[in-house]
Amino acid sequence: MLVGYVADERYLALSDVAVDFTSQDGTLTTARSSAGGAIVADVQPGTYRVTLNREGFGPKTVDVELSASEPYLFRLLANRLLGYAWPKWVKSGDRSEFRVHSVHAYRLSLWRYGLKREQVKLIGWFDEHGPRATMQVTPDGDYTQTGVEWNKRGYASKHHTQFMVGPEKSGLYYFHAETEEGEFFTFPWVVAPAVPSARIAVLASTNTWNAYNNFGGRSNYINATSLPVRPVANARLEMTRYLAGTYNEWQFADDLYQPLSFDRPEPLNAVLRDEEATDPIRGRQPCHLAPAEWRLLAWLEREGFDYDFYSESQLHYGQLPLDSYDVLMLSSHPEYWSAEMYRQVKEWVFERGGRLMYLAGNGVNCEVEFLDPDRLWFKSYVKPGEESRFGRTVESEANLLGVAYTEAGIMTAAPYEVLDEHHWVFEGTGLKNGDHFGFESLHERIPGGASGHETDKRTPSSPANLELIARGLNPDKGGAEMVYHEPGGGGAVFSAGSITWPACVLVDPHISRITRNVLERFLA
């Protein structure tokens, strides 16, 4: 009988997995998985204790009800150092559990990532008396929907604490885990203030972090709607993404999408062992996720601006008191917002004089729904003729930001060209109409300038009083449009319209000065 399939944390098929089936009467049957991860065994439907083992992966034992009509999906976890904080964001004074997967004893420390990486404290060494006792196991099935729930299996000892209290100072923190064997892994932690302590609030794009996190085999870009029945042996030959065109699943109805849980490690957000804020951002994904956002925080500290740091979840659930701040900053790639987030920010800007700095690209472009604090539902269905996926369900983000993402210029980078030299954003730069600026960048995935990766432009939904200040020189008229508008009542919005902007503020003098000009005016 085809019992089921076995896959790893990437949903890749695992071959040659040794499998023991022990029936309720004690009968033992053995099998091995095929090249495609299939497990065929001489067993009848019923309840079994199943043990799986393969070199390089953590063995596990589970009690399973096997069916001839519904293949069971077993999941194994590779022997590699991983971890995450849970919850991934707290207020100062609240605590998170650190959940680390390691087959060796590991050393854990906490660091704050501002202008400099600063070690906050050594948390200690972690191991157990039993062999490989700090090894975690993942649930079977599609745990991208429910979370991995590490530390809930076999961690009963109250003497081995796994919690960390949020430091008093708000900011981006990273846990550093390392083993004597040389493994190293880092994972981020957003610490918001217990009470507002600055005039600037910076919003981490935590919904986007989740959208791109494919741990477990799904993200909003890989198997976006759900996991296929069989695990993948060759992605290019089997996955919908490659067989049917880019993001073909986004053509499906919203109600076909399965949720994505925050309760998973985020390898895409890891930083390197000795990485500094002024170093180039290495890797494909870090250039638009937490490591890129770190560069903006480092710039704020270099320029002497205090800030409070929040997650998007905290904004959604009303834990970011916007009226306590003069400025809200969005960074890098805040693509996925809930309607409630949008409502709060737009009312704050349009009705209560809030000032919004959108130092990002492809932002507020797709609506998400918080099913609960742990899970997001991505409404990624693309409706022809709409300006954006957000505009399909709420209203175009251009109503607030002044610009919206378009595909023109995608995956290119270039400097900007000055279009309005007399605008106050250029004070002290010496730039004139036709001059180019924004050449220097730490963005290694798409180097070339401050207008890049993905870029935003004006749309029919942009405010009538919008001021066009500069435009990126990307090919196919794909340059980001730098704009400014004042909706009235003291509110104001500055939009850079480019993902690569925060990767430039530390190293490009003109990008730094323009950002400072906007921030000082908004704080005045």
Measured CA to CA, the distance from residue 365 to residue 505 in angstroms comes to 24
Instruction: Evaluate if residue 159 carries a pLDDT over 80.
Output: no
Give the end-to-end CA distance of the chain in Å, rounded to a whole number: 73
Q: Output the average pLDDT for the chain.
A: 95
Instruction: Band the pLDDT of 277: cuts 50, 70, 90.
Output: very high
pLDDT in tens, 378-411: 999 888 888 999 999 899 999 999 999 999 999 9
At residue 2, the pLDDT reads: 97
Domain containing residue 416: CATH number: 3.40.50.880
Looking at the fold, whether 185 and 314 belong to one and the same domain comes out as no
Looking at the fold, whether 400 and 290 belong to one and the same domain comes out as yes
Measured CA to CA, the distance from residue 83 to residue 99 in angstroms comes to 5
323 SS3 class? helix
Q: Pick from 150, 182, 203: which residue ends a domain?
A: 203
Instruction: Evaluate if residue 155 carries a pLDDT over 80.
Output: no
Looking at the fold, whether 66 and 89 belong to one and the same domain comes out as no
Q: Pick from 184, 203, 222: which residue ends a domain?
A: 203
Q: Pick from 159, 175, 203: which residue ends a domain?
A: 203
Is the C-alpha dihedral spanning 439, 442, 447, 452 positive or negative?
Answer: negative
At residue 205, the pLDDT reads: 98
For residue 55, give the DSSP letter: T
Looking at the fold, whether 99 and 67 belong to one and the same domain comes out as no
At residue 242, the pLDDT reads: 84
The reply to whether 393 falls in a domain is yes
Looking at the fold, whether 64 and 97 belong to one and the same domain comes out as no
The reply to whether 259 falls in a domain is no
pLDDT in tens, 232-273: 999 999 888 888 665 677 887 888 899 999 999 999 999 999
For residue 255, give the DSSP letter: G
Measured CA to CA, the distance from residue 421 to residue 467 in angstroms comes to 12
Instruction: Band the pLDDT of 303: cuts 50, 70, 90.
Output: very high
Instruction: Band the pLDDT of 354: cuts 50, 70, 90.
Output: very high
Looking at the fold, whether 71 and 89 belong to one and the same domain comes out as no
Distance, C-alpha 124 to centroid of its chain: 27
pLDDT in tens, 29-47: 999 999 999 999 999 999 9
Cα angle value 481/484/486 (rounded, 5°): 150
Domain containing residue 188: CATH number: 2.60.40.1930
| Number of independent structural domains in the chain | 3
Domain containing residue 8: CATH number: 2.60.40.1120
| 241, 214 Cβ separation under 8 angstroms | no
Looking at the fold, whether 340 and 418 belong to one and the same domain comes out as yes
Looking at the fold, whether 382 and 480 belong to one and the same domain comes out as yes
The reply to whether 371 falls in a domain is yes
The reply to whether 394 falls in a domain is yes
The reply to whether 54 falls in a domain is yes
Looking at the fold, whether 90 and 199 belong to one and the same domain comes out as yes
329 SS3 class? strand
Looking at the fold, whether 16 and 106 belong to one and the same domain comes out as no
The reply to whether 209 falls in a domain is no
Looking at the fold, whether 394 and 509 belong to one and the same domain comes out as yes
Instruction: Band the pLDDT of 153: cuts 50, 70, 90.
Output: confident
CB neighbours of 328 closer than 8 A, spacing ≥ 6?
200, 201, 202, 203, 322, 345, 348, 354, 355, 356, 357
Q: Which residues pair with 63 in a beta bridge?
A: 49
Q: Six-digit token pair at 164?
A: 């960390």
476 SS3 class? helix
Instruction: Evaluate if residue 157 carries a pLDDT over 60.
Output: no
Looking at the fold, whether 401 and 497 belong to one and the same domain comes out as yes
Question: Going along 383-437, which residue ranges are E strands?
Answer: 404-406, 413-414, 416-418, 436-437
pLDDT in tens, 79-90: 999 999 999 999
CB neighbours of 84 closer than 8 A, spacing ≥ 6?
98, 99, 150, 187, 264, 265, 266
At residue 373, the pLDDT reads: 97
At residue 177, the pLDDT reads: 98
CB neighbours of 157 closer than 8 A, spacing ≥ 6?
none
The reply to whether 237 falls in a domain is no
507 SS3 class? coil
Distance, C-alpha 497 to centroid of its chain: 19
DSSP letters, 386-399, are: -S-HHHHHS--THH
- Amino acid (1-letter code) at residue 400: L
pLDDT in tens, 114-148: 999 999 999 999 998 888 989 999 999 999 999 99
The reply to whether 269 falls in a domain is no
The mean per-residue pLDDT over the stretch 166-184 comes to 97
Q: Given strand 260-261, what is the order of strands in its sheet?
A: 260-261, 375-378, 366-372, 336-337
At residue 253, the pLDDT reads: 82
Measured CA to CA, the distance from residue 357 to residue 434 in angstroms comes to 24
pLDDT in tens, 409-463: 999 999 999 999 999 999 999 999 999 999 999 999 999 999 999 999 999 999 9
- Structural domain range at position 177: 82-203
Instruction: Evaluate if residue 99 carries a pLDDT over 90.
Output: yes
pLDDT in tens, 304-347: 999 999 999 999 999 999 999 999 999 999 999 999 999 999 99
